[in-house]
Chains A and B, each alone.
Chain A
Amino acid sequence: GAGVSQSPSNKVTEKGKDVELRCDPISGHTALYWYRQSLGQGLEFLIYFQGNSAPDKSGLPSDRFSAERTGGSVSTLTIQRTQQEDSAVYLCASSLLGYSGNTIYFGEGSWLTVV
């Protein structure tokens, strides 16, 4: 597609439920990133995928968070047993190569509200 596509754009879930957020990167982009943006906070790195290499999971806040990338394209971020502090905008981004100076393009985000 023309840009990074994320779904759902908005999700309201009950505390304790699991949620899945989807990201379709720009076609041909081998690097994919997930960030989280809470109200009044900067973007917080969560996880990074580059080609077939093992993902960099160093930003995942707890073991309730996981992500996978199938076929080197679409990625799913899963949050298990959601908590109210998980409420945030989850942003996906992609770039042609890894971090080394290539432009990173963001999607519009998935707004998650845990009630």
Chain B
Amino acid sequence: EDQVTQSPEALRLQEGESSSLNCSYTVSGLRGLFWYRQDPGKGPEFLFTLYSAGEEKEKERLKATLTKKESFLHITAPKPEDSATYLCAVQSQGAGNTPLVFGKGTRLSVIA
């Protein structure tokens, strides 16, 4: 069974204090790993898709990296507007299409 574990559950940072969020996963062959951002009362907003170990993607202050067992979302010099819940999901290879399996998310608070 595919599983995704995100840590920490919650993270509080001062503005400008860089850190990383972790997403550990087990899948029967990875088709893709996805990062989403979710603001309170909103639907998840797509950030990145990573397909193979060693791949990295960047967007503004965010950089996502992938190994064979985990992914990191690095946040450089965060600002208060980066406060949100960050969700990680995996899609496994299989016969036909397989649903995304999500972790429970990391709730990030950035304090000015």
Contacts and interface: CB of A to CB of B under 8 A. Distances in A.
Nearest to B4: A42
Interface stretch (B11-19, B61-69, B71-79, B93-101): B93-101
Counting chain B CB atoms within 10 Å of each CB, the highest count among A4, A101, A107 belongs to A101
B31 to A, nearest CB: 6
Contacts of B102: 35, 42-44
B104 A40 contact: yes
Interface in A58-104: 58-59, 91, 93, 98-101, 103-104
B21 interface: no
Contacts, number: 62
Contacts of B43: 4, 91, 93, 106-109
Interface footprint category on B: 20 to 34
B91 to A, nearest CB: 6
B44 A106 contact: yes
B100 A104 contact: yes
Closest CB pairs A-B (n = 10): A106-B43, A99-B97, A45-B99, A43-B102, A42-B102, A98-B97, A42-B104, A106-B44, A108-B43, A101-B32
27 contacts: A4-B43, A35-B102, A40-B104, A42-B102, A42-B104, A43-B44, A43-B89, A43-B100, A45-B99, A48-B97, A48-B99, A50-B97, A56-B97, A58-B99, A59-B99, A93-B43, A99-B91, A100-B31, A101-B91, A103-B46, A104-B100, A105-B46, A106-B43, A106-B45, A108-B41, A108-B43, A109-B43
Given A42-B105, A104-B100, 6 more contacts: A43-B89, A56-B99, A100-B97, A101-B91, A104-B46, A106-B44
